[in-house]
Structure 1
Amino acid sequence: MLHVNYLDLFWTAITLLGDYRLYTILIPIIYIAYNRRLGFKLMATYMFSMYINQVFKYWFMLPRPSHSLWITEGYGFPSGHSQASSTFWSCLALNTKLKITKLIAIVLPLLIAYSRLYLQVHYLIDVISGLLLGYGLPLTIHVLKIPKGIAEVGIHIVYIGCSLLMVSTSTIIPGGYGYIPIVSGSFLGAYVGYRFSERLKANIIRLTSRVIVVILVLTVSIIGYTTAAMLIRELLISYIVSIVFTAIVFLMPYLYLKLNL
């Protein structure tokens, strides 16, 4: 594949748009500044998708290309960047009426997938599998909605059970567990915080208030994910830290309005 300096810079910039950390920050902003229900759907779907990604990576343990233009580590199958971007944008497109999200959901993940090939950090099968999972999981979840009429305690059991099942698989995957404790904990933490904030009938209306809460959310998110990543070798501790910090993030609207800040 032909490589020219300005093309290297362009595709490097594109590949950064698929970094999973970008979406772990962007989703809470949507949750606070735009719509809580949409933000939670994005978070739950995204974390479950990233869980599947980590399971596949550490179960199959397929290598990356030996020569790459981008410093990276870990296994190659499936592509995390391709899956992260297609999961986020397809989920957003399925849950909003904005036509631009549907266009982005098609174009951007494909560009990101190509950037991974251009930078020689993935094989074709890696990015194709990442895109299939990234598009397929949100669509499946969107179609298979939780039936109405299920008691609240039943929904609690579903989310708690899923999170515990997700983190418990960390002990049986042959190649390690990657970030499974973090995504499993974040999955449950988002649900806990959202259910409390769901009790609020009002949204944070004032722009200045939303800006303040967004800044707080970004601060807590960065501290939380950094701490959980540093403690990743301690599976249970990393899992609990992820639950606590993500719950705090998704509790921010509730705390802000309850404290009359």
Structure 2
Amino acid sequence: MSEESNLLSKKDLIINVIISVSVLVLGLILLEMGFNLSFESENETIRAIFEIITFLGEEETFIVFLTISLLAIDMRFGKRLIVSFMISMFFNSFLKDVIKDPRPHGLEAEMGYGFPSGHTQGSTAFWGFTLYYKKNEADSKKQAGIISAICTLLIIAVSISRLIIGVHDLQDVVGGFLIGMLILDLYLLLAPSVEKLSEKSLGLRIILGFIAAFSLWLVMALLFPAGAEAVGQGGGILVAASICFPLETKYIAYKPQDLPAKKKILAALVGVVFSMVGYLGLSEVFDLIPGPAWILRFVRYVILGVLLSLFVPWILKKIVKQ
């Protein structure tokens, strides 16, 4: 049975639409009233608190969270979370570099463009998927409610933090949330159909997945050169996932959900070390290699994806003697 078939019920979808429309309307009202740049705080204590909160939406933080989800919690959950998250961030990077909306000139300078907010969209993608997946695994309505509350709070907190520290204006944050919700809903609705590919042969699954992921990256990169380098991260991870996830399921079958607590902690530590060494090390190595930056970035993330989704699970299975 597909675990994803019931992730997003009609009731959940209606609620998401109502929330999205409400956020859009409220955002438009506040923009019309001139509140686009009115949320930055100059209070040092408040800024310090929200700078800690905003760190939960940093790229490095998500890499750690995704690694732990994949290698120390549940491979099935982790794989689907990675695909959902990377699709969302692929389009976030693409939109940023195509729209080229400047950031507000606040007290804290940050590189890159503003719309849509990557922290907001990333948090919506990550915690939104986690909410629906884990809520459906909950043993009781109370547990499901707690999971929903925590995930929702994290999305709201990270989104607000971007306004408080002044690195995004209101339209960036509202846009990031709405786009993140749209992509999340589409993924949850389409996932059951894509899941049927698991019934196909291994070779066919890899070929179809690779063609879809590689074509998405290449078409976007060639049609919109302004965003070509930005989409290399999402494109590279998705291409690696299309090849390595089916291979891992077939030949390695690492199952962290079956491990005792101590071995889960060990798996998390090993996974995070590999992920950060790979992430930082590959960045340094590829900075020394001449060539088109958009292609090098893509290749770099393909390698990182292969490392985390195939090599590290194989290593961990040996270490934990599963």
Band the TM-score falls in, shorter-chain normalisation: 0.7 to 0.9
The answer for the alignment partner of 1:35 in structure 2 is 74
The answer for the alignment partner of 1:17 in structure 2 is 56
User: Per-residue deviation at 1:206?
Assistant: 4.4
Change (3 A) 1:228 1:238: farther
The answer for the alignment partner of 1:218 in structure 2 is 272
The answer for the alignment partner of 2:35 in structure 1 is none
2:175 is equivalent to residue 175 of structure 1: no
Counterpart-to-counterpart distance in 2, 1:228 and 1:171: 24
Alpha carbons 1:193, 1:249 under 8 Å: kept? no
User: Per-residue deviation at 1:245?
Assistant: 2.3
The answer for the alignment partner of 1:203 in structure 2 is 255
The answer for the alignment partner of 1:50 in structure 2 is 89
User: Per-residue deviation at 1:259?
Assistant: 7.7
The answer for the alignment partner of 2:304 in structure 1 is 245
Amino acid at match of 2:62: Y
Change (3 A) 1:111 1:189: same
Aligned-partner SS, 1:144:
helix
The answer for the alignment partner of 1:162 in structure 2 is 212
Alpha-carbon deviations, 1:214-253, whole Å to 9, x = none?
Answer: 3332222113322454537633233223222222212223
Unmatched segments (≥5 aa) in structure 2:
1-37, 139-143
User: Per-residue deviation at 1:23?
Assistant: 1.2
The answer for the alignment partner of 1:105 in structure 2 is 151
- RMSD, matched Cα: 2.4
The answer for the alignment partner of 2:128 in structure 1 is 90
The answer for the alignment partner of 1:143 in structure 2 is 189
User: Per-residue deviation at 1:3?
Assistant: 2.5
Amino acid at match of 1:165: S
2:164 is equivalent to residue 118 of structure 1: yes
The answer for the alignment partner of 2:243 in structure 1 is 192
Aligned-partner SS, 1:96:
helix
Counterpart-to-counterpart distance in 1, 2:196 and 2:176: 31
The answer for the alignment partner of 2:111 in structure 1 is 73
TM-score w.r.t. structure 1 length? 0.88
- How many residues are treated as equivalent by the alignment? 260
User: Per-residue deviation at 1:134?
Assistant: 1.6
Which protein is bigger by CA-based radius of gyration? 2
**236-245 or 85-94, larger mean C-alpha shift:** 236-245
TM-score w.r.t. structure 2 length? 0.73
User: Structure 1 stretches (4+) deviating beyond 6 angstroms?
Assistant: none
User: Per-residue deviation at 1:115?
Assistant: 1.4
Counterpart-to-counterpart distance in 2, 1:201 and 1:178: 34
Alpha carbons 2:94, 2:230 under 8 Å: kept? no
**150-159 or 37-46, larger mean C-alpha shift:** 150-159
Alpha-carbon deviations, 1:13-68, whole Å to 9, x = none?
Answer: 11111113211211111111111000000111111111000110011111111x22
Counterpart-to-counterpart distance in 2, 1:122 and 1:228: 29
Alpha carbons 1:228, 1:239 under 8 Å: kept? no
Unmatched segments (≥5 aa) in structure 1:
none
Change (3 A) 1:11 1:159: same
Percent identity of equivalent pairs = 23
